[in-house]
């Protein structure tokens, strides 16, 4: 299986999502080295972080490659979440599955989409966050609800919230706790 994974969020070192992405990718590649992995990342200023992480992962499976798009994530958010143009496979090549980050949801040609929902507090308490972040998350979540085949939820509460707030079918939601 050819699996694409958005690792863009790892450039925000020290955050929960960056740690989550780094650790789950490493665990997947180590446990299932027979699959081919395409680690996709977008960053204008922190490309070295993406490439360094790839070097850390490559020793776990030689069936891994990295694609770094040298554009700011905010531009990719416009292309993917707002305009919904330029499928990720144009950059990665053909994929069977693409796991998106918590920031953008790319259009997909043939790949099945998977994403993680860490929590939905952004929808429940929008006044507690930055207006731009709220708008970005709403766009991404609406697209994801429409096009993703599966969702990883950090907890049973998040799973219930996704069902109620995003009207996602329970069969598409799986609880995957953020610790291995």
Our count of domains for the chain comes to: 1
- Could you tell me the pLDDT band of residue 150, with boundaries at 50, 70 and 90? very high
**Which residue reads 């993406």 in tokens?**
50
Whether the predicted pLDDT of 96 surpasses 90: yes
Is residue 74 very low, low, confident or very high in pLDDT (cuts 50, 70, 90)? confident
Whether 180 is in a domain gets the answer: no
Rounded Cα distance, 144 and 168, in Å = 10
Q: The tokens 């040609």 sit on which residue?
A: 109
Q: Is residue 72 part of a domain?
A: yes
Tens-place pLDDT, residues 1-56: 999 999 998 888 888 888 888 998 998 999 999 999 999 999 999 989 888 888 88
pTM of the model: 0.91
Q: Which domain holds residue 100?
A: 2-175
pLDDT given for residue 180 in this prediction: 53
Residue 114, number of CB atoms within 10 A of its CB: 20
Q: What is the DSSP letter of 33?
A: T
CATH of the domain at 25: 3.40.50.2000
Inside any domain, residue 152: yes
Question: pLDDT (tens digit, 9 = 90+) per residue, 159-175?
Answer: 999 999 999 999 999 99
What would the pLDDT profile of 61-71 be if each residue is shown by its tens digit? 788 999 999 99
Question: How far is it, in rounded angstroms, from Cα 28 to Cα 158?
Answer: 22
In a domain, 54, yes or no: yes
In a domain, 16, yes or no: yes
């Amino acid at each position: 299986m050819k699996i694409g994974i958005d690792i863009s969020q790892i450039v925000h070192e020290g955050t929960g999502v960056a740690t989550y992405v780094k650790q789950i990718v490493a665990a997947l590649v180590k446990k299932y080295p027979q699959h081919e992995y395409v680690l996709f990342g977008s960053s204008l200023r922190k490309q070295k972080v993406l490439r360094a992480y790839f070097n850390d992962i490559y020793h776990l499976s030689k069936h891994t490659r990295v694609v770094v798009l040298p554009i700011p994530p905010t531009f990719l958010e416009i292309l993917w979440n707002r305009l919904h143009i330029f499928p990720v496979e144009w950059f990665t090549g053909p994929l069977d599955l693409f796991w998106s980050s918590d920031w953008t949801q790319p259009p997909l040609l043939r790949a099945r989409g998977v994403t993680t929902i860490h929590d939905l507090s952004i929808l429940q308490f929008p006044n507690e966050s930055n207006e731009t972040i709220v708008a970005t998350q709403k766009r991404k979540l609406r697209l994801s609800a429409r096009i993703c085949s599966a969702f990883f939820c950090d907890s049973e509460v998040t799973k219930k919230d996704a069902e109620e707030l995003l009207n996602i079918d329970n069969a598409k939601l799986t609880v995957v706790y953020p610790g291995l």
